[in-house]
Amino acid sequence: MGGIEESEVVEKFSHFISECYAKELSKVLTSGEKSLNIDYAELDKYDQEVAELLADKPEKYIKLFEESIQQVEDGVNSKIFLRFFNIPTNYFVKIKDIRSKHLGKLVFTEGIVRQASAVLPMCTKIIFRCVGCEQLILVEQEVSIIKTPEQCPNCRKRVFKIVEHKFVDTQRVILEESPETLEGGSQPMRLNIILRNDLVDPEIIKRTCPGSKIRVVGVVHEFSKPIAGSKDKSTLFDLLMEGNFIESIEREYEDIILNDDDVKQIELLSSDPDIFEKLVRSIAPSIKGKSKIKEALILQMFGGVRKNKNDGTKTRGDIHILLIGDPGTGKSQLIKSVTSIAPKSRFVSGKGASGAGLTATVVKDEILRGWALEAGALVLANKGILCIDEIDKMHPDDRSAMHEAMEQQQISIAKANVQAVLNCQTAILAAANPKYGRFDQYKPIPDQIDMPVTLLSRFDLIFPVRDIPNKKEDEELAMHILEGQKDDTKFAPFIPSNVVRKYASYARQHVIPKLTDPAIKEISDFFVNLRNKDVINETDVKPVPITPRQLEAMVRLAEASAKVRLSNTVTKEDAKRAIDLMKVYLVKLGFDPDTGEIDIDRVVSNVTSSQRSKIYEMVDLMKDLEKNFGKDLPLNEVINEAKNRGIEEAKAEEIIDKMKRSGEVFEPRNGVVRRMPK
C-alpha cells in the first residue's frame, strides 16, 4: 500500500464508480442533487486498498475522488460531494474516547444533538492582493478567525487587500453522549460537529434539531481558541469533526436490539397470569410495600397510545405521575429505580433545574458567532421518561415552562433570531414534599404543595406517600430495612432490570392496543356513575368528582395494561386495573371530609365545592347584614350570623380569609369588612 501512486488510486475509484454507481450518479445529475451517497462496505469489497487509504487520509482522497467524478460523467459542471456511509464498526469511536491519534482520520460517532446553530455563510478561502506588487495570494481559512498572509512571497510586504471570498453554508452542531452509554455518574462529553454544503439543506437539518439522536461520519480536526482579551492563541486545542454523512438513529425504547431468545423470554413472561405482580416486585425491591405506586410506574414505562386525529388534534399516550408525601418515604428511590430501567430517561432535581434547563434555550455560538438552540432535559428525554425530584422546589417561572410540554408535548421557542418548535413526547415522573413537612389528608393538595393547580391538573395520577406510625407495619418495615443492610443480595429484582427494559421496549414497538366494547362500557359506567352520584344536601354546590381529563388518563392506563400482556385489545380487566388506580388517587386525595364525597377540586383547584358553597352562603349572609349595617360590616357580627346559620367560627374566619385573598371582600379598617363592588 505504501508504493501506490495517487493517480492509480483515483483511477481505481473511477472504475468503481463506473461499474457500481453509474445509475446513481446519473440520477444525481438529472435531479439536480448535490451529493452522491456511497456504501463504504461496497468500496471495501471492490478494492480494500483504496478503502483503507480513504479512511487513513480522508481529506486528501475525498477531494481527489470528487474531482475524478467529472471525468467519469461528461457534462458535470457543479461539484458533486461524496458522502460515505455504512462505515465498519472498527472505525466507531465514542465521543469521550476521541484522542489526538484520531486527528485527520475518518471515524464515526453517535450521540444526541444538544445544540444547533443557525445556518450561516462561512468563508473557506480568501484571495488577497499585495498592495506593493499586485501579487494574488490564496489563503485557506480556519474555523473561527480570518487568516491573512504573513508576507508577500514576491516583495515581502505585509499590507494586503481582500479581492475575493469563497463562502459555504455552515452549521455547528454540538453532539452529546447518550445517557445510556454513561458509566455511573460520569458527565456526558460533547463534540463540535461542523456541517457544510448539502449537509445543511432543509431536509437534512430536520435530522439535526436539538434532542435528535444521530450518527455522524466525518474527519476529526483540531482548532485553537483565541485567548480572551488577546490576539494570541492558546497551546491547548479543542476537537471538532468535519461531517461527511449524517443519519438519524432514534434510540428510545425502540432502540434496544432483541434477539430470538429475548423475544421468546418476553412472550413467555407475558403469558404468565402473575406478570403484573412479578413486575411490581422488580421495581425498587428494597422499598417495602407501595405496590399500587409501583404498578403505576410499570404502566408509565409501557405507556399508552399516541393518537393523531383527522381534525389535526393529538392525544398524548405518555402517562404523567406525581408522588407527594412525607420525607424519608422512598420517593427518590422509586424515581431513581425508573431512571435505571428506562433506556431514554433523565434525572433532574428541582433545586438545580431551571426553565431553560428543562425545555430549551438560545445561547451564543462560540465558533460561528451566531445564536444556537440548546435542548433541555424534556427535549433530550423525548420518547422516554424525565424524572424530577423535588419539583416543588423549582422557581415558579421555571415550572411554568412545563405546561406546554406536558399536554401539547412540544416546546415553542422564539428568542433572539431563533424560532423553533421542538418535540418532547416525554412522560414525567415527579416527586414533591408538602410545604409544612408532613402530608395532611384533610387539606386540599394545592394548600399543601407549592405548585400551581394548572400544573397539578396535568398529572394523570397523584399518589400520597405517607409515614404513619403503626406497630405491626413498623416491625415489618424495620426487619425489611435491617435484612437489606445485613445482606446486599437480599432484595434482588424478581425480573432483572435489563429484561424489564427489553420487555417494555418490545411492547412499545410491536403492540398498539385498541379499546374493546366491554372496556369502553366499564370505563364509561365508572365515569358517569361517579359524576352523577346523589348529593346529601341539594342546596349545596354539587362537587365534580372526576373530569374528562381523568377519563383520558384511564384510557392511557388501560392501554398500557394491555401492552404489558402484549395484547392488541384492551379488555375489561385492563379497564378495571386502570379504574382501581384512579380510585386510589381519587379516594386518597379527592375525598372531602366536610361532605363525605369525592371532589376533584381538592386536587386541581384552590377552592373545593364545599368551600365554594359556603362562600356563596357567606355572600348571601353579608348581603342580608348590609340592610341593617350598610356597606361596612362589623367582623364580629358577620361571624355571629355565620354561627347562627350553622357555620363554625373557625370555618367562617377561614372563608373570610379566602374571600380576602380572592379580592371579593376587603378590610377598610380593623374589625370591619366590606364587599367589593361588582
- Res. 520: pLDDT tops 90: yes
Cα 197 to Cα 33, 71, 119, 285, 435: the distances in Å are 12, 22, 10, 53, 55
Residue 379 predicted with pLDDT over 90: no
Q: CA distances (Å), 452 to each of 264, 447, 580, in order? A: 46, 10, 27
Residue percentage of the chain with pLDDT more than 70 = 80
pLDDT of res. 645? 80
Residue with cell 380576602: 660
Please tell me which residue, 351 or 122, carries the higher pLDDT value.
122
Residue 442 phi, psi (nearest 5): -90, -5
Label each residue of 147-191 as H, E or C: CCCCCCCCCCCCCEEEEEEEEEEEEEEEEECCHHHCCCCCCCCEE
**Residue 537: its pLDDT value, please?**
47
Better-scored residue on pLDDT, 526 or 481: 526
Residue 75 identity: G
Residue 557: per-residue pLDDT: 93
pTM: 0.67
**Cα distances (Å, whole numbers) of residue 56 to 107, 110, 142, 186:** 10, 20, 22, 31
The stretch 319-324 carries a mean pLDDT of: 89
Domains contained in the chain, CATH given: 6-86 (3.30.1640.10), 107-250 (2.40.50.140), 260-588 (3.40.50.300), 609-675 (1.10.10.10)
Q: What angle do CA 43, 44, 50 make, to 5 degrees?
A: 80
pLDDT at 561: 92
What average pLDDT does range 183-211 have in this prediction?
A: 77
CA-wise closest residue to 444 among 434, 459, 458, 430: 434
164-173, 226-235, 344-353: range with highest mean pLDDT: 164-173
375 φ, ψ to 5°? -80, 145
pLDDT at 33: 82
The residue ranking higher by pLDDT, 375 or 196, is 196
More confident position, 87 or 114: 87
Tell me how many degrees the CA angle 193-199-204 measures, rounded to the nearest 5: 105
pLDDT score recorded for residue 77: 57
Rounded Cα distance, 245 and 247, in Å = 7
**Rounded Cα–Cα distance for residues 301 and 508 (Å):** 9
What is the rounded average pLDDT of the residues 69-76? 58
- pLDDT at position 479 over 80: no
Q: Shortest CA distance to 80 belongs to which of 70, 90, 88, 89?
A: 70
Mean pLDDT of 16-24: 86
Most confident of 131-135, 288-292, 306-310, 562-566: 562-566
Indicate the Cα dihedral angle 511, 515, 519, 524, nearest 10°.
140
Confidence of residue 217 (pLDDT cuts 50, 70, 90): very high
**Higher pLDDT, residue 399 or 242:** 242
pLDDT above 70: residue 538: no
pLDDT of residue 170: 85
Contact 220, 241 (CB under 8 A): yes
Least confident segment among 280-289, 370-379, 448-457, 612-621:
370-379
User: Residues 630-645: what's their mean pLDDT?
Assistant: 84
CA 437 → CA 265, 359, 440, distances in Å?
Answer: 45, 29, 10
- pLDDT score recorded for residue 539: 43
**Span 162-175, average pLDDT:** 85
Strands 427-432 and 321-325, sheet pairing: parallel
Q: Express the helix, strand and coil content of the chain in percent, nearest 5 each.
A: 40, 25, 35
According to the model, what pLDDT value does residue 573 have?
92
Confidence of residue 462 (pLDDT cuts 50, 70, 90): confident
- Per-residue pLDDT band for 1 (boundaries 50, 70, 90) equals very low
pLDDT of residue 105 exceeding 60, the answer is yes
Helix axis angle, 635-644 to 609-629, nearest 10°: 120
pLDDT reported for residue 108: 92
Q: Give the per-residue pLDDT at 650.
A: 80
Q: Kindly tell me if the per-residue pLDDT of 542 is higher than 60.
A: no
pLDDT of residue 167: 83
Mean pLDDT of 372-389: 79
On the question of pLDDT at 448 being above 70, the answer is yes
Show the beta-strand stretches assigned E in 93-158. 106-117, 120-130, 136-140
360: CB partners within 8 A, 6+ apart: 210, 373, 374, 375, 376, 379, 411, 413, 420, 422
How confident is the model at residue 32, as a pLDDT? 77
Give residue 646's pLDDT band: very low, low, confident or very high (50, 70, 90): confident
Question: What one-character-per-residue DSSP string does 428-440 give?
Answer: EEEEE--TTSS--
Weakest-pLDDT range from 36-45, 145-154, 389-398, 429-438 = 389-398
Residues 263-295: tens digit of each pLDDT: 888 888 888 888 888 888 888 777 777 788 888
Q: Determine the pLDDT at residue 387.
A: 86
Tell whether the model's pLDDT for residue 627 goes beyond 90: no
Q: What is the mean pLDDT of residues 322-334?
A: 80
Please say if the pLDDT value at position 536 is more than 80: no
Rounded CA-CA distance 563/232 in Å is 61
- The least confident of 273-277, 400-404, 648-652 is 400-404
Range with the poorest average pLDDT among 23-37, 52-66, 573-587: 23-37
Structure-model confidence comparison of residues 37 and 314, the more confident one: 37
Rounded CA-CA distance 48/74 in Å is 27
Report the first-to-last Cα separation within the chain, whole angstroms: 92
545-592 confidence digits (pLDDT tens): 677 888 888 999 999 999 999 899 999 999 999 999 888 888 777 666
Q: Which pLDDT does position 595 carry in this prediction?
A: 63
- Tell me the three cell numbers of residue 176: 452529546
Q: State residue 514's pLDDT score.
A: 92
Task: Report residue 109's pLDDT band, with 50, 70 and 90 as the boundaries.
Answer: very high
**What is the residue-averaged pLDDT of the chain?**
79
Determine the average pLDDT of the residues in 196-222: 82
